[in-house]
Amino acid sequence: MHARATISGTTIADTDSFEFVEGNVYFPVSSVVDREKTLTPGSRTSHCPWKGDGKYYDLHVNGQTIANAAWYYPAPYEKAKMIKDCVAFDKSKVTVGKD
């Protein structure tokens, strides 16, 4: 299977290796295009009882900044270890597809 994340037609992540958890595609962070420029620390955090503490990224694409549009779990709990080093995108801000 293949997954891609885009904003206004610009690909921001593309991979053949991903995890699908709770309706979200978790992309390997290495699949994010130009990740040093695309992802910067966001202001939001979250907690999931089975995944752990989440942190957010702001996305920078085509001259625009989209706040807290991606999240990751830097130290996921054992049950969620498959999403270590992965990032998911807010589907209300980013188009995510898999086939």
> Could you tell me the CATH number of the domain that includes residue 53?
2.170.150.40
Q: Considering its fold, how many domains does the chain have in total? A: 1
88 pLDDT more than 90? yes
For residue 93, which of 63, 59, 46, 54 has the smallest C-alpha distance? 59
3-state SS, residue 43: strand
| E-state strands within 31-91 | 39-48, 52-61, 64-72, 86-89
Tokens 């593309």, residue located: 14
pLDDT over 90, % of the chain:
98
* pLDDT value of position 94: 97
Distance from C-alpha of 2 to C-alpha of 53, rounded to nearest angstrom: 27
pTM check: above 0.85: yes
* pLDDT value of position 17: 96
Q: What is the per-residue pLDDT across 40-77, written as a single tens digit (0 to 9) for each?
A: 999 999 999 999 999 999 999 999 999 999 999 999 99
99 pLDDT more than 90? no
Q: Which domain holds residue 75?
A: 3-98
Integer-rounded Cα radius of gyration of the chain: 12
* pLDDT value of position 71: 98
